Structure 1
Amino acid sequence: MEIPTSAALWFMPFVLPVCFYVAWSDMRAMRIPNTSVLFLLGVYVVVGLIALPFPIYLWHLLHVVIVLLIGILLNAGGLVGAGDAKFATAAAPFVFVSDLRFLMAIFTATLLAAWVTHRIAKHSPIRRMVPDWESWEQGWDFPMGLALGGTLALYLALGFLYGA
Structure 2
Amino acid sequence: MAFSATAALWFLTFLIPLCLYVAFTDLQAMRIANGTVIAIALVFALIGPLVLPFEVYLWQLAQLGIVLVAGIVANAAGIMGAGDAKFAAAAAPYIALGDLQLLIVIFTAVLLAAFAAHRIAKFTPLRRIAPDWDSWDQGRKFPMGLALGPTLALYLMLAAAYGT
How many residue pairs get aligned? The number is 164
Structure 1 residues 60-139: aligned runs within 5 Å? 60-139=60-139
Q: CA deviation at 1:125?
A: 2.1
* Aligned-partner Cα distance in 1 for 2:72–2:5: 32
- Of stretches 46-55 and 78-87 in structure 1, the one that deviates more from structure 2 is 46-55
3-state SS of the aligned residue for 1:118?
helix
3-state SS of the aligned residue for 1:26?
helix
Q: CA deviation at 1:51?
A: 1.5
* Aligned-partner Cα distance in 1 for 2:135–2:96: 32
The corresponding residue for 1:47 is 47
The corresponding residue for 1:157 is 157
| AA matched with 1:79 | I
Consecutive aligned runs of 4 or more in structure 1 exceeding 4 Å deviation:
none
Q: CA deviation at 1:32?
A: 0.2
| AA matched with 2:115 | W
* Aligned-partner Cα distance in 1 for 2:31–2:4: 32
Any idea what the Cα deviations from partners look like across 1:13-49, whole Å, max 9, x if unmatched?
1011100000000000000000000000000000111
RMSD across aligned positions (CA): 0.6
Aligned residues with identical type, % of pairs: 55
Any idea what the Cα deviations from partners look like across 1:103-160, whole Å, max 9, x if unmatched?
0111111111100010011122221110000000011100000100011011000111
* Aligned-partner Cα distance in 2 for 1:64–1:4: 18
| AA matched with 1:58 | L
The corresponding residue for 1:15 is 15
* Aligned-partner Cα distance in 2 for 1:110–1:117: 10
| AA matched with 2:111 | L
| AA matched with 1:110 | V
User: What residue ranges of structure 2 are gaps of 5+ in the alignment?
Assistant: none
TM-score of the two chains, using structure 1 as the length reference: 0.98
Q: CA deviation at 1:6?
A: 0.4
* Aligned-partner Cα distance in 1 for 2:96–2:119: 32
TM-score of the two chains, using structure 2 as the length reference: 0.98
Any idea what the Cα deviations from partners look like across 1:86-108, whole Å, max 9, x if unmatched?
00000000000110111011111
* Aligned-partner Cα distance in 1 for 2:18–2:87: 10
User: What residue ranges of structure 1 are gaps of 5+ in the alignment?
Assistant: none
* Aligned-partner Cα distance in 2 for 1:51–1:71: 27
- Of stretches 122-131 and 137-146 in structure 1, the one that deviates more from structure 2 is 122-131
The corresponding residue for 2:3 is 3
